[in-house]
């Protein structure tokens, strides 16, 4: 019995270091956050939950940011001092931020078109909405030159989502209450889909089958079938939504409900809300981390980013950022 007990202790001693050595799984990267109230780009270490630095941009920013796939550069449009469809200045540039030196390295000059939502496409091009041009601009990140303009045939083309295969783009045309489907290979519009009086942000499923945009006059999300380019159903919500994002596994659709400070979680099998999650004041945008384990939610009136665990649906930490934080991007390291 004594020998057996000693064997157990020895075995435990051998196993304990192996168990203790198992590191907590992390996804190396930086969280980029647009602080629209102070015209800065924040760089956040999401693991420690701390703002590392803020970079002052060259003008009055928009609300969105994109990162290059290698994590080297960020792209922040200079939108102007107005809201979408409202009087104000007309921005005409995109700041290119070197994330190693943490400085604005280049400025891409455009016409005064209120550039707003940048998206890095699978083809290596940078796409950005150009509201006053009723278009999506295509920019070559290598040359920093405008190479094409794709008409949306609608005013206030504010937000953009691109299918994972890079073949289609969908713009949310806010005041027009429509979505424009774009063929990114031929660089031509395919269809204008009328949705509601006013819409807001837009998202697409990983398989490219469904596109979602938020009706700003009723508490519901439009579901657009990308095969027919028609609204095929509506998802009722507990309040008017703003931003939406699909998890990388295609299982959940997350939507921000700013007026009630909640995230609605929609099961994409049933297309129904299955739970809500309380978050700080005025949630805006949602970014799902690449490992699909957590989502970051910018909450602009609280100057916080909430980190939501997608396994147990608990907010596991709050990160203090800048004034009226909004658009986010993930920069790989």
Reply yes or no on whether the pLDDT at 21 is more than 90: no
Measured between alpha carbons, how far is 216 from 232 in angstroms, rounded to an integer? 18
Per-residue pLDDT, averaged over 193-221, amounts to 98
Q: Mean pLDDT lowest for which of 83-92, 264-273, 290-299? A: 83-92
DSSP label of 300:
T
Average pLDDT taken over every residue of the chain: 92
For the ranges 53-62, 89-98, 323-332, the lowest mean pLDDT is seen at 53-62
Tokens 């809201």 sit on residue: 83
Q: What is the pLDDT of residue 7?
A: 40
In order of their start, the domains of the chain are 29-237+323-332 (2.130.10.10)
pLDDT value for 26: 63
DSSP secondary-structure letter at 24? Answer: P
**pLDDT, tens only, 54-64:** 999 999 887 89
What pLDDT, in 10s, does the model give residues 120-157? 999 999 999 999 999 999 999 999 999 999 999 999 99
pTM to 2 decimal places: 0.91
Is the pLDDT reported for residue 14 higher than 50?
A: no
**How buried is 104 (Cβ within 10 angstroms: 0-12 exposed, 13-18 middle, 19+ buried)?**
middle
């Amino acid at each position: 019995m004594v020998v057996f007990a000693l064997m157990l202790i020895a075995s435990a001693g051998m196993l304990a270091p192996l168990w203790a050595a198992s590191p907590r799984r992390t996804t190396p990267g930086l969280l980029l956050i647009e602080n629209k109230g102070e015209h800065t780009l924040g760089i956040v270490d999401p693991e420690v939950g701390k703002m590392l630095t803020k970079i002052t941009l060259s003008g009055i920013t928009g609300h969105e940011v994109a990162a290059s796939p290698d994590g080297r550069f960020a792209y922040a449009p200079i939108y102007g001092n107005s809201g979408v469809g409202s009087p104000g200045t007309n921005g005409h540039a995109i700041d290119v931020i070197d994330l190693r030196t943490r400085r604005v390295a280049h400025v891409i000059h455009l016409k005064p078109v209120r550039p707003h939502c940048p998206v890095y496409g699978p083809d290596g091009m940078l796409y950005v909405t150009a509201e006053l041009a009723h278009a999506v601009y295509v920019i070559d990140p290598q040359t920093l030159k405008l190479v094409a303009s794709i008409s949306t045939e609608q005013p206030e083309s504010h937000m953009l989502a691109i299918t994972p295969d890079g073949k289609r783009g969908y713009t949310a045309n806010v005041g027009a209450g429509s979505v424009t489907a774009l063929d990114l290979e031929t660089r031509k519009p395919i269809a204008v889909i009328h949705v509601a009086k006013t819409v807001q942000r837009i998202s697409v499923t990983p398989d490219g089958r469904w596109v979602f945009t938020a009706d700003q006059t009723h508490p519901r999300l439009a579901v657009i079938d990308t095969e027919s380019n028609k609204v095929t159903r509506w998802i009722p919500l507990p309040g008017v939504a703003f931003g939406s994002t699909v998890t990388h596994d295609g299982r959940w659709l997350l939507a921000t409900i700013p007026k009630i400070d909640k995230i609605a979680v929609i099961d994409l099998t049933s297309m129904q809300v299955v739970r809500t999650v309380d978050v700080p004041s005025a949630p805006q945008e949602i970014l799902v981390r690449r490992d699909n384990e957590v989502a970051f939610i910018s909450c602009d009136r609280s100057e916080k980013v909430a980190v939501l665990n997608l396994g147990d649906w608990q907010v596991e930490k709050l990160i203090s950022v800048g004034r009226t934080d909004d658009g986010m991007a993930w920069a790989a390291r």
